[in-house]
Structure 1
Amino acid sequence: DLMKQRQGMLLLYTMKNPSFPEYIFSSESGIMCLDFHDDYPYLMAVGFYDGNVAIYNLKTTSHPSYKSCAKSGKHTEPVWQVKWQKNDMDNNLNFFSVSSDGRIVSWTLVQNELLHTDVIKLSVEGTTAQGPEGLQLKTLGCGTSFDFHKKIDYLFLVGTEEGKIYKCSKCYSSQFLDVFEAHHMAVDSVSWNPYHPKVFISCSSDWTVKIWDHTIKTPMFVYDLNSGVGDVAWAPYSSTVFAAVTTDSKAHVFDLSINKYEALCTQLVVTKKKNKITHVQFNPIYPVVIIGDQRGHVICLKLSPNLRKVPKAKKGQEVEKGPEVETAKLEKLLNLVREP
């Protein structure tokens, strides 16, 4: 409950025993988000409700190995997302965070200290508040989610509480490359397609999931799911499969190459009323999704075989596989909806 903040917990499970966590770490403030490091899976970046960020080393202690503080540029509002990036030029560990305070911050671990750099400050366009003695104060935009491009290192997207999505570069701190008038309410999640370099997906409390080409200002596909969409995730094995979860406790799985208009499957996941689902993630290897809800439950679901249909081989031909095939599959679909 965001109004009644208590302590937070970080729990690590294995799929072999989903009923009890392998590791339990408690924290003074609620934990809002986390990210495993790709190369060092024992390192975890964590963002807290009180605006702090930390790095946990699961090999050593149950306390954060490194943590921000008021002096070292912590956020003033909850941190909604953290993401590891490649190490910097001097091979120092590096991650980014986004918060309701409108700052996107890069954190670098230098000589056992977390150093921060403000990459971007979001401001709400055309809105200035009247301060004391007639001062014009710029109102800050609230960042809610972000994602970095898989191939173009400097490029990233930021979703905001006003429903806009900003296309940003790590190189320019005051300018946006582009602004998408994406949603009527807060953008709950935004992420690049794992295969196609131009495509990203966004979802919002305004009931919609939208798929975009980042060079075009209007969405390619729009799906209305009849309830606020808490999270959306691309499948790691296909460029056209994604899952979304909605506040009416349903999980939806789409495959654009099979049906461009509606979900292949919509399933009620949580039986208790008024229990909103907040997050969904695909397992990187197995056809399993993991879903988290407001009450702290984590549910693992296996995708049934008809939700992961693979193209059948024609006689005497092999089925082509690989990233290029996935990219081409999505490109073909986009060409149908792009302006001629």
Structure 2
Amino acid sequence: MSLLLETFLNLIRKPVTRVEKDFFLPANHNLESTPLVQAPIAKFARGIPAFIGNNYKDLKLNADKELKEIIGNPGKNSWVSCKECSICAEVCPTNAIRSDEINLQIDYGACLQCGLCVDECPSKNLVNSGFVDVYSDNRSELVVDYNKEKFEPSFHSENSSDSEYLEFKEKIGNKGFNFREVCAGSNTGVEWELGACYNNVFDMESIGVRAVASPKHADVLLIAGSMTDAMIKPSKLAWDTMPSPKLIVAIGTDAVQSASQNTEMYPHTPGYWIAGDPPRPDTIVRAFRTLMGRSHFKFRLAWHSYLQEKNKELSK
């Protein structure tokens, strides 16, 4: 009965694309003056792992002796139990985590959001965040370094300086764009989620984003999958057919990671990156809104804001 009720409510629910107040922004709006959009936390999703521990409660400790003197037994949620551990890096199926005694680096662009690192973490300093909005115009923006000693991330947000990307942004403004999707070795997860973007709940066409059959009519080439040998030539042919200015968007964790490591297999370096295995429909819609300039979202700033909120919770 509850499933039938939920189905009926979905039929009359307003599209998520109409919820945010900044849906209609003037063509000449100043994006920098637009408040940053905070990513909503997905209630029933694992999301990317957050590196948080007791030392995040402003316990600025860097020695076992000091730790024992102040809080007694270090316990399992402390730098002492984490600094020599690298289990999270060992179990990560995509090698998205790198760990040494002091630093922990997580490449959220390569993260499957599978939760294995959280499940296997013996100190429980890694937690599922429910944070699923992992996209940026700068690939390095999706890589975050943490200090194991203080449980603090290192952030430095940068905008893309690619001239072709900036020319593309100027062309589309906030009007919308057409895309042609290429399945370059994808497991079809991305394709299913793209299809869901056009149902009555997400209604992506209402923000001006349309799928087209021919790359001749496309502004954006969406590439999903790890780029198999058989798809190198078709991808290049599709890219060469598109009118300029144009943009490649790597969508899905496999495409993001593949395009980072095997750039020579792609017709052009992607100018926009959307991670997730696969990314959810609402994440895709918000990513495209940001690409068009209808939302002001920065991954690292939004992630930093989330960690600060977690810090407040732990400090209570």
Measured against the shorter chain, the TM-score band is under 0.3
**Higher RCO, Cα 8 Å, sep 6+:** 2
Structure with more strand by fraction = 1
Which structure carries more helix by proportion?
2
TM-score by length of 2: 0.23
Structure 1 length as normaliser, TM-score?
Answer: 0.22
